[in-house]
Amino acid sequence: MGDRRFDEGLAAAESGDFAKAHRVWLELASENSADAQFALGQMYVRGDGVEHDAAEAVRWLALAADQGHCEAQYSMGAAHTLGFGVERSTGKAFQWYLKSARQGFADAQYEVGCMCIDGRAVRDYEAAVRWFREAADLGHGGAMMQLGILYDEGQGVPMDHAEAERLLHAAARDGWPTAHFVLGRRHAEGKFVRRDDEAALQCFRAAAELGDAHGQNALGYMYDYGRAVPTDEQAALEWYSRAAEQGLKSGTFNVRQMKAEHRLPRVMY
């Protein structure tokens, strides 16, 4: 009975009838349906048919999370990461992500792995590898990318550049812009692979066109210095500027140098 009613609300939301969806899910949520509580929370996050309300979103998400709803637990982790409707707290974010990750939610497993690498939780590369591997097995491209980087660096796993290459390509195929950038950097530097500016250019272009700031800056550099393409200062400045607009410091530096009377060498990363 409950599932049929939830699906009725879902069909209404998908057709744009958010008032009906809200009415159906509110009734179910009052009966303690975690799925409905989560759905209501998402409505307030996105402002679907209701006023955007962080506090109300978190109220419903927390109710669902407390019942063990893995997506709601992940959302609570994100809320504490961003300070969305709750206090910003790395510790609380990690605990919520961990609860969700233990239920097999790939996005949460990825976040836990990242927090084990960057020290926002306890720095533990072996734990990061375990979580990234679980998420990668579920098809998470970001986890594949992070595993590839760890295999290249030999952190938490034995160094294995061939496995790193395989994982990075898998992440790139999954549409992760940064994976394209990392592959491009390997080719541009001749690091772990033979130097190949043509391959680097293709990877940087793929990353840049997907909106990756590092890829945009690196593509600008390739045009700036004529690596695998004819030198083109206008194209270089355009890509540097796109990176700078996203707040990338190297992009901002390069834009300033391109406009300066006496230029300093530009930087690729």
Query: Which domains are present in the chain?
Result: 1-85 (1.25.40.10), 104-174 (1.25.40.10), 176-269 (1.25.40.10)
State how far the alpha carbon of 12 is from the alpha carbons of 9, 16, 17, 40, 185, in Å.
5, 6, 5, 13, 47
User: What pLDDT digit, counting tens, does each position of 33-92 carry?
Assistant: 999 999 999 999 999 999 999 999 999 999 999 999 999 999 999 999 999 999 999 999
pLDDT at 15: 96
Note the pLDDT of residue 1.
44
| Residue 155 backbone phi and psi in degrees, to 5 | -105, 115
Confidence of residue 119 (pLDDT cuts 50, 70, 90): confident
| Spatial contact of 268 and 254, defined as CB atoms under 8 Å apart | no
- pLDDT tens, position by position, 226-244: 999 999 999 999 999 999 9
Q: Give the single-character DSSP code of 47.
A: T
Read off the pLDDT of residues 53-70 as tens digits, 9 standing for 90 and up. Answer: 999 999 999 999 999 999
What percent of the chain is modeled with pLDDT above 70? 99
Q: Is the distance from CB of 179 to CB of 168 less than 8 angstroms? A: yes
Tokens of 151: 């295999």
